[in-house]
Homo-oligomer: A and B are copies of this chain.
Amino acid sequence: MSLDQAKTDKPHERLAAMLEDDMARVNGLIRERMASEHAPRIPEVTAHLVEAGGKRLRPMLTLAAARLCGYEGDNHVRLAATVEFIHTATLLHDDVVDESDQRRGRPTANLLWDNKSSVLVGDYLFARSFQLMTDTGSLDVLRILSNAAATIAEGEVLQLTAAANLATTEEIYLQVVRGKTAALFAAATEVGGVIADRPDDEVDALRTYGDALGIAFQMADDLLDVAGDAAETGKNVGDDFRERKLTMPIIKTIAAADEDERAFWVRTIEKGRQEESDLETALELIRKHGAIEATRREALGWSETAKNAMRRLPEHELRQILIDLADYVVARIS
């Protein structure tokens, strides 16, 4: 495609176009490794999710990081598949924990099969991901990805105890977001630099990029839930409120609440006794305390952090796309 055309495309679509050959190998490896000779339930459940047409952003981050670092071997393909397996395992377990019935516009695996299958197939994919990363022969990679797996699980447990809990601080929020999103983004980009054997400061910049990108992405998502337009974003306004989630705008609004307002949050979030008109009141309070603007500024700040980190890497076409990606994740709110 021409440069002009490239500029108008979405960054993740430009990534997909540039990494098409690598991604075809990743998809082949995923299909190969999700198979199970003995238990056909495994590829059934996995295929439902893996082939549901997610954006494959995480494996592309690994491929892009490795390629922009000049990596020429095969391990980036293994690691990209590893990262997608960890992500898929996490989704399977998340849907059980959240009792979800829809994911990517399709019924979830726990609904189509059962919670048991989702738990066990998730475990299988975790194990497969560790086999794949072991195949790279890099202990540094194993350390990074096993740390990420621990942070993910820790963040999810924290989210469980933080749910509907008005004592949730911005600090706890950040830890939860790192678990939900940023830890795997950070590991995905970091391992690309590690297998390319780049100096520490570049590996560190890649890690910082992934971490900040993940946080910016999640904060933007929070914001759309209280300030978005369902037609544009495909997200219903107020879902997080109805699910009593302590998102960044709500945490900020609660921190600024007077006595009456606090009673409102205790009733609607902590006790979960919501009435039809409560969403409108919640949105008014969020606007009143400037929580939309404050969250927006923070999300943009994390996007800047990501871009600045990426600029510490050598110049490369992929570097520009990753910088554009950091703009793109907050474009919906800027």
Q: What are the interface flags for A28-51 relative to B under an 8 Å C-beta threshold, 1 for contact and 0 otherwise? A: 000000001011111000000000
Q: Assembly of this chain: how many copies? A: 2
> In this assembly, does A65 line the interface, its C-beta being within 8 Å of a C-beta of chain B?
no
Q: Please, which residues of chain B bring their CB within 8 A of the CB of A149?
A: 123, 126-127, 130
Residues of B within 8 A of A134 (CB): 139, 142-143, 146
Q: How many residues of A contact B (CB 8 A)?
A: 42
Q: Does A296 contact B (CB under 8 A)?
A: no
Task: Give the CA-CA distance A41 to B161 in the complex, in Å.
Answer: 8
Residues facing B in A9-45 (CB within 8 A) are 36, 38-42
Interface of A is mostly: helix
Q: Is the CB of B175 within 8 A of A150?
A: no
Say whether A93 faces chain B, with CB atoms less than 8 Å apart: yes
7 closest A-B pairs by beta carbon, nearest first, are A127-B149, A124-B153, A127-B150, A130-B146, A123-B153, A39-B157, A97-B116
Chain A residues packing against B (C-beta within 8 Å): 36, 38-42, 93, 96-97, 115-117, 119-124, 126-128, 130-131, 134, 137, 139, 142-143, 146-147, 149-150, 152-154, 156-158, 160-161, 172, 175
